[in-house]
Chains A and B, each alone.
Chain A
Amino acid sequence: MLRPMLTLLLSISCLSPVFADDVVTPVAPVSTAVDAVAISPVSKFVLADFDGQMALIEHWPDSPASLENLFTALENDQLYADAKGHAYLMQSDGTFTDYVTDQKANVSADALTAISLNNAMRTAIDEHRAKAGLMAADVATRQAAATTLAADPLSVDDAILTERLKVEKAPSVLAILTRIQAQKDMASGDAKRELAGAESLASSNDPEILNLVQEKLADPSISPTLKAALTSAEHKIALKIKGSEWGGYLFSGLSMASILLLAALGLAITYGLLGVINMAHGELIMIGAYTTYVMQGLFNHYLPSIADGYLFAAIPAAFLVSAVIGMIIERIVIRPLYGRQLETLLATFGVSLILMQLVRMIFGAQNVEVANASWMSGGVIISPSLTLPYSRIAIIGFTLAVLLAVKWLISGTRFGLFVRAVTQNRQMARAIGVRSSRIDMLAFGLGSGLAGLAGCALSQIGNVGPDLGQNYIVDAFLVVVVGGVGQLLGAMLAAFGLGVSGKFLEVMMGAVLAKILLLGLIILFIQRRPQGLFAVKGRFVE
């Protein structure tokens, strides 16, 4: 009796949905269906309303990689969903694949709705990515992430910031994070926090923080204690920025000096050892630069896979090409003129005109493009206002290496011994069997090769054109004149002095006036020491 009655009751309840709804559950039938599909985070996302989606971005239940996939799909406007919460990806040909299984799905666009982004969500995504980026192992990623966050510092999460500030080591990232922290502190409105912020700011050396402090100082409503703290912070930051600025000037002065030295080194050899005024030295520098340009072209054409390595081939090539041309010049033009300095000056000036014109006819009168090797771009960041470019560091190092090599060549080898012998007493050297004319040629070739090396280095930091040499020849001569004839140490000190003081004068009064003043100072200096820093001692009166 009982069983049929129960069966009847159940069938009645099933047959009347209204009744069942009221009694059983308020959940929509759709929801039940989704549960059946196995609810993925994507389904939750596509079904949620705006607030829910924002919350999901903040607290993603699945792996970061899957969140990144979602972001990509959203940004490409690929994400579609049906009413049940199935997510599909639209492919470039207009067909759809299932988001979860990645299988081809047989659905039509009419049944689906596109899930699109609005600006608030875009910002949320950017921020989320930035926060994730802050944890990345790679410094560049962390820096990019921090820069993104710095655009809207007030929205950065306190907890994350505090934690990252503790562990972050890279100065570039740290500087940005500190700035964000400072901006948050300053905007917090809490007097204690502002004060603490002001004190922590004092240790910064970032020009943007200086701006921030000055902005806050301009606000008339701040308390006297905060004002005092900010003022002292302002002074400290300004001092540090000044310091790193001058550090930067010193560095560029040093690199200027090393360029001067490179340009003058070969000249010091041809003038100091041989007594030849080589006005074509500048053009030999130019030839070195053009050789670098040609090597770059060859590498790009024949060895594109190691195109960046062209510099390593260009250095010996520049040396050899310039040296060979120098030796030819020595044979033809200079040999008959030894001992007649003014005549060598005129004749080599003629050579320089010819070389310049030849280069113009071969490569054109325009500057040619020599690209920096990629490993030379960028630089060491010492502080936010001081970056030392790798190319300049490389030139300083290169100059030192060349200087040492020359020193060794002149004072440590048999060739150097012969050169010195011929310089001191040609007759005597010949008498004991030194082939002086051969030594002359080789020494001139060495000087010319050094010019080629200088050209190779200069091609990395400036324009390469037919007039390249003209820009350096006067300076190079001044280095030799100030340094004293044939004195490597003198040339080094002179280049150092001229380069650094030139840079500092330039900062104070502008490039042209600095140059003029420097020339004036050199003329006065030569009044005091007509033979340069290190005079050749001896009995030669004239």
Chain B
Amino acid sequence: MIISNVLKLFAGNKWGAVSIAVSFLILLLLPLLHLLPSDSAFYLSAYWITLLGKIMCFALVALALDLVWGYAGILSLGHGLYFALGGYCFGMYLMREASPDALPPFMVFLDWKALPWYWTGSQHLWWASLLVILVPGLVAFIFGYFAFRSKIKGVYFSIITQAMTFAATLLFFRNETGFGGNNGFTGFTTIMGYSITSPTTRVVLCMLTAVSLMLCFVGLRYLMSLPFGRVLGAVRDSENRLRFLGYRTQWYKLTAWTLSAVIAGIAGALYVPQVGIINPSEMGASNSIEMAVWVAMGGRGTLIGPLLGAGIVNAAKSYFTVAYPEVWLLLLGGLFIVVTLFLPYGIVGLFKQLQHSKFFAKREGK
């Protein structure tokens, strides 16, 4: 039944659905090229496959951010925190794999004798995976509960999420926190016993990311077609009116917020084994704001837009930071300005704007 419902989602726009499906299929199959012999014309090097995996992880975060910003109208400047929390949770497992019987090197360096209590069980993949969902989810739930209960919204909410990320960054920079301080986690060797740098592992991880991305995309699209999604949109447009109608909006917002944090955490967990490092700068305030520009650039509230935005910005970033490192920040800054000034509905909005320019007339009142 769900499948037929999902299929119905795309019924309205057949060509769009087909192109999305084809894109996902390509993303899913592209990593396989890494398994070809390295002299083949279609061979994809480790650099490219890592880049592909990384960008897909970022696209997943962008998707998560679109859920809260595009649909519920809550701009989070702290999604880097949930991303990094997921990454750290999975990183604990990888660190234990790298030194099965001994302490991780940074703890030996600090002269610690035993693992802190919160590392308990992190040598099991299933427990680490559970933590990837539980930790960001719980942090987001507690924070969101207090924030939404007292009706903090708009800019206040954004600034507080930023302050929270800032505080967490300070905390993780400390050695005493037990997460490697400044350097974070690195030096991973194996995952489930397989070498983390072997082509097969890379391909599997990359395909796993593609599958997660696809599932999250379709799942969120389905969710947003349900009444829940409609209520979220109403929260964005006029929360007070909705409250007067009897909806308990804080629980809708809290659900979306927690779900979004969990998706961001999963993205972080997929990111760490592919990139091979996680450190506090990953959750830094500017990283988190950059995520917002991916979403804004692609187009908020469209789900497909953030994927495009994350893809384009990160592709540009990896090109420019190598070719013209000085220019990149200027470009990124310019992008922030251009997108907010001239592309209020992002790239996706631009296409639709060109298709039929009356499209936005209905949404102007916002």
Contacts and interface: CB of A to CB of B under 8 A. Distances in A.
Contacts of B293: 346, 350
Given A342-B75, A354-B330, A481 B160 contact: yes
A484 to B, nearest CB: 11
Interface residues on B, range: 35 or more
B163 A477 contact: yes
A351 interface: yes
A354 B171 contact: no
Nearest to B69: A342
B167 A516 contact: yes
A343 interface: yes
B171 A512 contact: yes
Interface residues of A, number: 41
Interface string B274-297: 000000000001100100110010
A522 B164 CA distance: 10
B336 A474 contact: no
A189 interface: no
Given A474-B285, A481-B160, A526-B160, A353 B332 contact: yes
Given A342-B155, A345-B158, A519-B167, A354 B329 contact: yes
Contact of B336 (A350, A481, A512): A350
Contacts of B334: 350, 354
A164 interface: no
B101 interface: no
B240 A347 contact: no
Interface stretch (A107-115, A301-309, A333-341, A431-439): A333-341
A541 B244 CA distance: 13
Contacts of A470: 286
B337 A523 contact: no
B352 interface: no
A523 B164 contact: yes
A347 B341 contact: yes
A357 B321 CA distance: 13
Contacts, number: 114
Contact of B340 (A347, A356, A523, A526): A347
Contacts of B335: 350
B170 A523 contact: no
A323 interface: no
Contacts of B336: 346-347, 349-351, 353
A524 B145 CA distance: 12
A338 to B, nearest CB: 12
B329 A353 contact: yes
B317 to A, nearest CB: 12
Contacts of A522: 160, 163
Interface centre among A353, A527, A528, A542 (most CB of B within 10 A): A353
Interface centre among B146, B162, B333 (most CB of A within 10 A): B333
B151 interface: yes
B174 interface: yes
B8 to A, nearest CB: 33
Contact of A474 (B143, B162, B326, B340): B162
B169 to A, nearest CB: 10
Given A342-B75, A512-B170, A530-B150, A356 B329 contact: yes
B333 A477 contact: no
A333 B339 CA distance: 11
Nearest to B284: A470
A341 B154 contact: yes
A7 B341 CA distance: 130
B292 to A, nearest CB: 6
Interface string A520-542: 10111011101000000000011
Given A336-B341, A478-B163, A350 B332 contact: yes
A542 B238 CA distance: 9
Contacts of B18: none
18 contacts: A342-B158, A345-B75, A346-B296, A350-B335, A350-B336, A350-B337, A353-B332, A354-B330, A357-B330, A474-B285, A477-B159, A478-B159, A481-B160, A520-B167, A523-B160, A526-B160, A530-B150, A530-B151
Given A341-B155, A346-B336, A350-B336, 8 more contacts: A342-B75, A346-B340, A347-B337, A349-B336, A351-B337, A353-B336, A515-B170, A523-B160
Interface of B: 75, 143, 146-147, 149-152, 154-156, 158-160, 162-164, 166-167, 170-171, 173-174, 240, 285-286, 289, 292-293, 296, 326, 329-330, 332-337, 339-341, 344
Q: Which 7 residue pairs of A and B lie closest in terms of their CB atoms, listed nearest first?
A: A350-B336, A353-B333, A354-B333, A357-B329, A350-B333, A347-B340, A519-B167
